[in-house]
Amino acid sequence: MSMAFVATSDSSFRIILRKDYKVKPGSTFICGFHGLGEVGFLSTAHLTRTLKAERVGFIKSDMLPLFVSMENKRLVLPFELYAYEPKKMIFLVPRFQPHQSEQWGFIDRLASWVSENKFAETLLLGGLDASFKEDGEDMRSVPTTAYGDLLEKWSVPLLEEGLFVAGPLALFLAELEMHDAPAIGLLTYATRGRPDPRSAATMLEKINEVYGVGANVEQLLEESREIERLEKMRKSIESSDRTNDMFV
């Protein structure tokens, strides 16, 4: 696969796209980071796998994590771009968080690239602490001003005033607001302190509903059941230990 360098305004950040690939105007950009419950990353990575999206590029930066791995008999890099042509979707799969010292520059240049390529909308996926849940809704939304009438199709309540989005997702939303770009943060309630595949499955079910992509969520639900089983086992053991302590 032949690649060509497509540089942004700073040589420390490069988007490397396949030579024969070009972003189509009106596409949808989707990204999620390793935030609360790892919901954003789990959702984005699972979407690329279940939709069999095609890898079309990478992101290179000065602080690129010094790790690679294998997946489906192929070398995978820390920041990869995938395309799902039937729905004109582009996914950024960040297997690591951008290094803290370069997050501002990384997100600033990525937001500029999104704006320059005239994406119709950007979906930023993440988790929201389940302890804040006060009604029967599974999600909250944080749209940019330019998202406007697009918000209606989600039927997802806005994030309550007084609550905050944090990390790279928050910075990305802020940058896209300043670029006057249509974007929305989608947050599903998640368990703090561990990966929450069930929350990611909720996210994918909503994306299936809105875009009709038919992404299979059963693997995420199975992972969630296993994590919950192990969590119950851990709590049972801890409870047993505390009971035994009473009779020393």
Residues 116-135 have pLDDT tens digits of: 999 999 999 999 999 989 88
Share of the chain above pLDDT 70, in %: 88
With 70 as the cut, is the pLDDT of residue 6 above it? no
How open is the CA angle 171-176-179, to the nearest 5 degrees? 130
Cα distance between residue 182 and residue 92, in whole Å? 17
Cβ-contact 128, 188 below 8 angstroms: yes
In the three-class reduction of DSSP (H, G, I as helix; E, B as strand; rest coil), residue 160 is classed as coil
Cα distance between residue 189 and residue 1, in whole Å? 39
pLDDT computed for residue 241 by the predictor: 54
- Which domains are seen in the chain, by residue range? 3-245 (3.40.50.10900)
Report the predicted TM-score, pTM, of the whole model to 2 decimal places. Answer: 0.86
Cα distance between residue 187 and residue 11, in whole Å? 33
Q: What is the pLDDT of residues 159-183, one digit of tens each?
A: 999 889 999 999 999 999 999 999 9
Cβ-contact 8, 14 below 8 angstroms: yes
